[in-house]
Amino acid sequence: MPDIDALKAEAKRILSEGMVDMVIGFKAGDTPLHPQPAFFKTPDEVDQLVYNALCQNNLATYLTRFPKNQKIGMVVRGCESRSVNALVFEGQHPKDGLYLIGVPCEGIIDWRKIVEQTGEEVFSIFEQSNNTVLVESKSGFFTLEKETLLHESCSRCIHPNPISANVVIGELLPEGDPALAREKVAAFASLSMEERHAWFRQEAERCIRCYACREACPMCYCEECFVDHITPRWTESGTTPAGMQGWHIVRAFHQTGRCTSCGACERACPMDIKMTYLTEKLNEDMRRKYNFEVGLDATTPPPFSTVTLDDKSRFVI
Amino acid sequence: MNLILKKDHLKHLLNAWRQDYEVYAPQSLQNFTHFLPLQDGFELAFDKAHNTRIPPKALFLPTSEALLKFTRFGGYEEVPSETAPRLIFGIHPCDAHAMTMLDTVFEQERYTDPLWKARREATVVVGLGCDEPCKTGFCTTVGSGPFNHAGLDAILTDLGEIFLVEILTDKGEYLFTQLETASEDQSMQASEVQQAAKASMPIAFETEGLKQKLDQNFASPYWEEVSRSCLGCGVCTFLCPTCFCFDIVDEAQRGERVRNWDTCMFRTYSLEASGHNPRPSRVERTRQRLSHKYSYWLDQINQIGCTGCGRCVRYCPVGLDIRAMLRKAHQLPSEVLHA
């Protein structure tokens, strides 16, 4: 856990020195389970800044909302920093208009896994140094193993440390094992085509098309999403199997070489739909076929964002 | 009249009802509960502390449904309205109450939605009161309650080994003909459970004068402030039991005119054909959502358009809490409106 006072001090410094117009971070929510994204414009407001393992959003999703001439500070974890890099590459904000305060991330906790054990009325949550979380709820005190509470995307995270941050607050953590991400992909890929299709159908079937996954994703910033396009219509509009499957498959494919595996889509989904099994496969393909991982810098173009004269497929040129 | 339903008799009764009705009751679906039709060997999943993830409004206004079918070469046929008798068992009072509000939308004198009406008329609704009200809920604040009767034909109170059944309508009476009558003691006991549940729920925000504050502060910077972290997704409205907006789309390839859920939180919701959007940002959309529930419904039916089920609070991906937003709204200045 980074020192919250050091984090606040840096956020205050960049605001008071006029280096940024705003710092995007988190503030306490109405319950300890739900910290909220927050936008601090003055050093005084930064007193409200919190950072803990319950901060579940990828803050980079807000970046595209602000004018490009606005100087923005942001508290970034590994995944957020890679999303920012990908957005900078895509021209969504100039790199020199950003000040990234990096925090090494020990993983995001799924609040649902806490309330399953402690009940709904949670008064406080303390992350303790021995990888346990002390929760005080109406039903009493609970000591929970942090590892068991993490989101799946965080359990298999490869790059917990912020990349390209202007400053890092806290000790860097060891890199994750890429084999863990591969394991998940391999397990899914080893199923028969019928089984994979059944899995896909079963997940997509629950979709209510609220687009929380889209809005939570930093890389989904299209002014007009393909599902909202009317002439021509690219996919069925409703919650028919064709409509839901169309949405999920195209959403995933649009992320090829752009998804940073942050898992914000799954965390936002009100229907607990698993989505990263699709994007992880695409990310794995990018690694294997093109030796590419998105967001490691802001200059390497994703393979599908480039065209060269010696391209194997001639159809594009 | 109050009756007694022994819990070990419940399955038998549900199966008996299945002879005459399609019976919907909360069952597990993945990690949450959902109103699904009972099949042989069903397992009920009463999650007392929570509502089903999707409100039962979906049984009357499905996420998507065809209104009519057409062919490429002209001609169309309407989809017959569904009329098979149905029974919803175990609905919580907030969700049942919400349905009565939606009736005022879909069963207006001049414009009646035949699909909604047919489904409502064909459905008997048996509620399960909340003796352990959920922590995100605030039904008592907005004029509903954990044992509210609105929209129910009968309501159950959990008394351990038994449910006390309160019959509220003729439809409800018809369902429970074989049960023994509750003793005075049992009725007293149920009444105590109900009072305790109600008393356990704090008032989440002040509703008196709230509408006026919202109306007077239509142009306040408050709206920018409370909508700043909003993602603009449809979670709060799609999971809301009183939200009913829909969009009608012609699926030309399939030859169907379809009605889909829609929400004021989407950019496309108020986007006009000219390209103009009267609610161009999340600021105006958030204002619409809150004002509709806490002001415009009051103009229309003199009721707050929210039954306090708490789903929007629990499932907002950025932790926005409507209770906190409204507490803040109540502290806004009262301004004199200029004509």
Residue A245: phi, psi to the nearest 5? -70, -40
CB distance B266–A214 less than 8 Å? no
Instruction: Check residue A215 and give its pLDDT.
Output: 97
Answer yes or no: are the C-beta atoms of A207 and A175 closer than 8 Å: no
Whether A130 is covered by a domain: the verdict is yes
Which residues of chain B are within 8 Å of residue A119 when distances are taken between CB atoms?
49
Q: Of A98, A129, A149, which residue is a domain's last?
A: A149
Based on the fold, state whether residues A312 and A184 are members of the same structural domain. yes
A236 Cβ under 8 Å from any chain B Cβ = yes
Q: Of A96, A128, A149, which residue is a domain's last?
A: A149
Whether A284 is covered by a domain: the verdict is yes
As a whole number, mean pLDDT of residues A87-102 equals 96
Average pLDDT of chain A is 93
User: pLDDT band at A94, cuts 50/70/90?
Assistant: very high
Based on the fold, state whether residues A192 and A303 are members of the same structural domain. yes
| A-contacting residues in B 115-134 (Cβ below 8 Å) | 134
Question: Which of A271, A272, A273, A274 to mutate against chain B (most B CBs within 10 Å)?
Answer: A271
Based on the fold, state whether residues A144 and A182 are members of the same structural domain. no
List, as own/partner pairs, every contact residues B209-212 make where C-beta atoms lie below 8 angstroms and the sequence separation is at least 24, other chains included.
Answer: B209/B330, B210/B294, B210/B326, B210/B329, B210/B330, B211/B294, B211/B295, B211/B298, B212/B334
Q: State the helix-helix crossing angle for A276-290 and A178-189, rounded to 10 degrees.
A: 110
A206 Cβ under 8 Å from any chain B Cβ = yes
CB distance A238–B258 less than 8 Å? yes
For residues B131 and A243, what is the distance between their CA atoms, to the nearest angstrom? Answer: 40
Residue B172: phi, psi to the nearest 5? -70, -40
As a whole number, mean pLDDT of residues A84-94 equals 96
Full DSSP string of B79-137: PPPP-S-EEEEEE-HHHHHHHHHHHHHHB-SS-B-HHHHHHHHTEEEEEE--SS--TT-
What percent of chain A is predicted at pLDDT more than 90? 80
As a whole number, mean pLDDT of residues A204-229 equals 95
Structural domain including A307 reads 178-316
Answer yes or no: are the C-beta atoms of A246 and B29 closer than 8 Å: no
| Tokens encoding B295 | 């002001």
Is the N-terminal amide bond of B241 cis, ω within 30° of 0? no
Question: Which of B47, B229, B258, B268 to mutate against chain A (most A CBs within 10 Å)?
Answer: B229
Whether A47 is covered by a domain: the verdict is no
Which residues of chain A are within 8 Å of residue B313 when distances are taken between CB atoms?
30
Whether A28 is covered by a domain: the verdict is no
Whether A165 is covered by a domain: the verdict is no
Instruction: Check residue B339 and give its pLDDT.
Output: 47
Which residues of chain A are within 8 Å of residue B241 when distances are taken between CB atoms?
none
B54 Cβ under 8 Å from any chain A Cβ = yes
Provide the residue-wise pLDDT of chain B in tens; the chain has 339 residues. Answer: 799 999 999 999 999 999 999 999 999 987 789 999 999 999 998 866 679 999 999 999 999 999 999 988 888 998 888 679 999 999 999 999 999 999 999 999 889 999 999 999 999 999 999 999 988 999 999 999 999 999 999 999 999 999 999 999 999 999 998 899 999 999 999 999 999 999 999 999 999 999 999 999 999 999 999 999 999 999 999 999 999 999 999 998 889 999 999 999 999 999 999 999 999 999 999 999 999 999 999 999 999 999 999 999 999 999 999 999 999 999 999 875 554
Distance in Å from the first CA to the final CA of chain A: 50
Q: Amino acid letter at A210?
A: C
Residue B110: phi, psi to the nearest 5? -85, -35
| Tokens encoding B4 | 């007694």
Total domains in chain A come to 2
Whether A217 is covered by a domain: the verdict is yes
CA quadruple B253, B255, B257, B261: dihedral positive or negative?
negative
Which residues of chain A are within 8 Å of residue B52 when distances are taken between CB atoms?
none
Chain A nearest CA to B181, separation (Å): 35
Chain B nearest CA to A295, separation (Å): 23
Answer yes or no: are the C-beta atoms of B129 and B165 closer than 8 Å: no
Instruction: Check residue B109 and give its pLDDT.
Output: 86
Which residues of chain B are within 8 Å of residue A49 when distances are taken between CB atoms?
none
| Tokens encoding A49 | 């800044």
For residues A284 and A262, what is the distance between their CA atoms, to the nearest angstrom? Answer: 14
CB distance B319–A29 less than 8 Å? yes
B49 Cβ under 8 Å from any chain A Cβ = yes
Based on the fold, state whether residues A233 and A134 are members of the same structural domain. no
B324 Cβ under 8 Å from any chain A Cβ = yes
Q: Of A129, A149, A169, which residue is a domain's last?
A: A149
ipTM score of complex: 0.94
Size of interface A-B (CB pairs under 8 A): 107
Full DSSP string of chain A: ---HHHHHHHHHHHHHTTS-SEEEEEE--SSTT--EEEEE-STGGGGGEE--TT--S-GGGGGGGS-TTS-EEEEE-HHHHHHHHHHHHTTSS-GGGEEEEE------B-HHHHHHHH-S-EEEEEE-TTSEEEEEETTEEEEEEHHHHB-HHHHT-S--S-SS-SEE-S---PPP-HHHHHHHHHHHHTS-HHHHHHHHHHHHHT-----HHHHH-TT---SS-GGG--SS--S--SSSHHHHHHHHHHHHHHTTTT-----HHHHH-TT----HHHHHHHHHHHHHHH---TTSSSSSPPGGG---TT-S-GGG-
| A-contacting residues in B 9-48 (Cβ below 8 Å) | 29-32
As a whole number, mean pLDDT of residues A82-90 equals 97
Q: Where are the domains of chain B?
A: 2-199, 210-330
A121 Cβ under 8 Å from any chain B Cβ = yes
| A-contacting residues in B 239-298 (Cβ below 8 Å) | 239, 247, 249, 251-254, 258, 260-261, 263, 266-268
| B-contacting residues in A 273-302 (Cβ below 8 Å) | none
Instruction: Check residue B336 and give its pLDDT.
Output: 58
Based on the fold, state whether residues A194 and A311 are members of the same structural domain. yes
Full DSSP string of B272-330: -TTS--SS-SHHHHHHHHHHIIIIIHHHHHSS-S-----HHHHH-TT---HHHHHHHHH
Residues 6+ apart with CB under 8 A from A213: A220, A251, A265, A266, A268, A269, A273, A275
- pLDDT, tens only, A46-69: 999 999 999 999 999 999 999 999
Tell me the CB-side half-sphere exposure of residue B213, using CA atoms within 13 A: 18
As a whole number, mean pLDDT of residues A242-253 equals 93
Based on the fold, state whether residues A185 and A247 are members of the same structural domain. yes
- pLDDT, tens only, A272-309: 999 898 999 999 999 999 999 999 998 998 888 887 77
User: Nearest chain A Cα to B235, which residue?
Assistant: A210
DSSP 3-state assignment of B164? strand
Whether A297 is covered by a domain: the verdict is yes
Based on the fold, state whether residues A139 and A182 are members of the same structural domain. no
Instruction: Check residue A14 and give its pLDDT.
Output: 98
- pLDDT, tens only, A141-199: 999 999 999 999 999 999 999 999 999 999 999 999 888 878 888 998 899 999 999 99
Chain B nearest CA to A190, separation (Å): 23
